Structure 1
Amino acid sequence: MAALQFELQHTDSATKARTGRITTDHGEILTPIFMPVGTAGSVKAVTQQQLNTEVKAQIILGNTYHLYLRPGLEVLEAAGGLHQFNGWHKPILTDSGGYQVFSLANNRKLTEEGALFQSHIDGSKHLFSPEKVMDIQRIIGGDIIMAFDECPPYPSEYAYAKKSMELTHRWLQRCFTRFNETPDRYGYTQNLFPIIQGSIYKDLRTASAEFIASQNATGNAIGGLSVGEPMEMMYEFTEHCCDILPVQKPRYLMGVGTPWNILECIALGVDMFDCVMPTRNGRNAMLFTSKGIINIDNKKWEKDFLPIDDGIDCEMSNYYTKSYLRHLMKSKEYLGLTIASVHNLAFYLWLVTEARKHIAAGDFKSWKEAMVVQLQHRL
C-alpha cells in the first residue's frame, strides 16, 4: 500500500497545460483525465464492461450522499467496499456529499457541527459532519476521498462567501484529524483531497488556495465554480487557483463541464475533471462529436446512415448510424440511452487523450484553439 503518487511528465511551453501520471493502489491514471460520474454506484445506462472497453475510463466517481442513503453503509461494508460491490477494479473517487447538500438548500440546515438534511428518498433526517463524512467515505472505499465543504451559490454576497469559506476551512481541519486517526479500509490506501472555495472574490480564492496548498495533501481540488457564474469568470478563477496550488500535485476542477470548458481549463493547468453532462445530455438526445454538436432528435438525421462519429476510438460510435440512434431515441428504446451515453463518454475520454498527445507533441495551443471552435459548432 502506498499513498497516491503524481509524476509530472510534460509541460506545454505556450500554455499552462501539462501531462502526468497518477498512481494509486487500483492502478494508474494518465492526465489530463475526465472521470465519468457514477452517482449511485453506476454510470447511468452504461455497464462497467462498456466503461472499460468502449469508454476507456481510467477512474470513475461515486457519490457519498446517494450511496450512504442507498444501498447504505451496511451493504457496502459487507460487500468489501464499492470496488467489490459494483465490479469496477480501477480507481474510484468519492465526493463528500457537500454539493448534494448545497443543492438541497430547502431541505438542509448548516451549523458549525455539520449539515442536517432530509433524505430525498424517505424524508428521514441525517447529519453530515466532517468526521462522519470521512467515516462514510472510508467505508465506501474510494481511492480518492473528498473533504466535506460548503459550496456557496452564485451569486453570493461577499460576507456570506467569506463566512462559508472559513467554515469549509474549519471543516477541512476536522476532516484531516479524523482521516489521520482512522485506518484505510480493504487493504489499500485512501487519499484525502481538500477543496478550494471563496466564490468569485479574488482575495477569498487566494486565501483559500493558499490554505489548501499548505495542507500538503496528495492532491487538491477547486470547488464552487461552474455553479452559474459567467464562463470567463470560471476561467479567471480556475487559472488563479492553479497558479497558487503546488505544481507537483494533481489539480481537480470539480463539476466542469463542456468539452470546450475542459480544453480551456487544461490550458490553465487543470489535470482532472468530472461532470454529469456527457451522460445527462446523451440521454436527452444531445451528442458531442469530434466535428461538433448533434441533436439526434432532428429530422435531418432520419436517413443519415453514416456512423455517429468515426473520428473517435469507440466501436459503438463507429458501428451504429445516426439514423438508427435517432430511431431508438424517438421510440424511447433503452438501447438508445446506452449508445448515446457510451458515445458521449467515449468522446470525452478521446478528447482528453488527444489533448495529452498534443501537449507532449508541443502543438497543444494551436490544436486547442481550433478544437474549441469546432466542438461548439452545431451540425
Structure 2
Amino acid sequence: MSSSAGRGHAQHRGRTTLAAAAVGLVAAATLTPAASASGPATTTTAAGTCTALTMLRRMTLEQRAGQVFMAGTPATAASSTTLGLITTRHIGNAFLSGRSTGGTAAPKATTAALRARVTSSSTSSTPLLISTDQEGGAVQVLQGSGFTRIPTALVQGGSSAATEQANAATWATQLRDVGVNMNLAPVADTVPPGWYNPPIGSYDREYSHYTSGVSVSSGAVIRGMQSRGVATTAKHFPSLGQVKANTDTTSNVHDSWVARNGASVNPFKNAIAQHVSTIMVSSAYYDLIDRANPAVFSGPVVTDLLKGSLGYGGLVMTDDVSSARAMTPWTPALRAQNALAAGVDLVLGSADPSVVAAMYDHVVSIARISAWWNARVNDAAYSVLLVKQQQGLLGNLC
C-alpha cells in the first residue's frame, strides 16, 4: 500500500462529520454475513422512509464502492463502456460529456439508457446522479432546442443576484426535463484583473475578477439550481483562478498565491453557507498549503482545510482524473486511492471511462483486506447517498 494510503489513516482520525458517524454503524455490519459481499444487508425500515444509511446498509461492498465513482459518456448517446460499468462494476453515477447541439431528444435518450441499467444487482436499485457541465459560454454541454444558450459566467456576473438565481432555476428545469439531476457548476474560482489564466480566465468562466462578486453570483446559481432539484458543484477548490497552465493539458501545475486564509477561498466558504451539494477539488498544487501533493491528493487541502477549518461536511469530488495531463504520473488505480485517502468521496472519470474499471477494482481489493479502507469506502459512499437522499432520489425504495 502506498505512503498516501498510510497518510489517509492519520488524516481521518477524529473526523466528526455525519458521514463519519454513520461509518461507525456500518463498519461493524460489514463484518457480518448480512452485509458481506455475498449479499445485501437485511435492514428493515418502514415503507417510504428510505435514507442514505438504509441504502448503504443494504448494499454489498461492491455496490458501495460503485457509488464512489462517476463515469463519463457522450451526451449524444450512452457509451457501451459506461453502460457496462454500471452493470459489472456497480458504478452509481454518470457524466454527460462532449457537446450535444440537437436539442433535448439525444440527452433524454442517453439518460434513459443509463437509468435502465439501474437494477437490484447493479446499484441495489439506487438511482444515478447524472451530471453534466452546464456553465455557459464555451462550457455548455447541452444545447439546441429546449436549452437556453447560456452566456459566459463573466456576462452572467453583470446581472443582479435575483436575475442570476431566476435564470439558474430555468436552466435547472431544462436539465431535469432530460434526466440530468446534477450540474458540475458553478465555477467559484477568482481570476484577478488582467491575470493570464488558461483554464478559467481564457474562457471567461469566472463570474467576477473579485472574490466578493464571485461569491454573490455563484451563490445565486447554487440557490437557483437547487431550488429546482438539481445538485450543484462549486469548483475548483481552493481556486484555479491564478494558475498559469491548464491541468487538463499540463502536468505539475503549481499555484503560489492561494493560501489557507486567503480571499480566494471565500467563494467556497459562501458556497458552503448556501448548502452547495458538492465541492470539486482542483488537480493543481498549492505551494502555500501543500506543495508536495496536488490538491485532489492532499489531506491538508481536503481534510484539514475544506472539511476541518471550513467545516464542510458534504460531498467532495475530484476533477476528471481519467485523462487529465496532471494525473499522468500516477496509475489510474493510485489516482483513486490517493484521492480517497485524502478525504475525497467521489472520483470522476469523465473523459476516458475505460480506466474507471481499474480504479474501481483496486479500491474494492484494498477494502476487502483493510478495515480502514472498508470504512473509508463506506464513508465516501454515504456522502454520495446523502446527496441522492437530499435530491429525493431514494424516495420509497425501501
TM-score interval, smaller chain:
0.3 to 0.5
User: Greater strand share, 1 or 2?
Assistant: 1
- Scaled by the length of structure 2, the TM-score of the pair is 0.44
- Scaled by the length of structure 1, the TM-score of the pair is 0.46
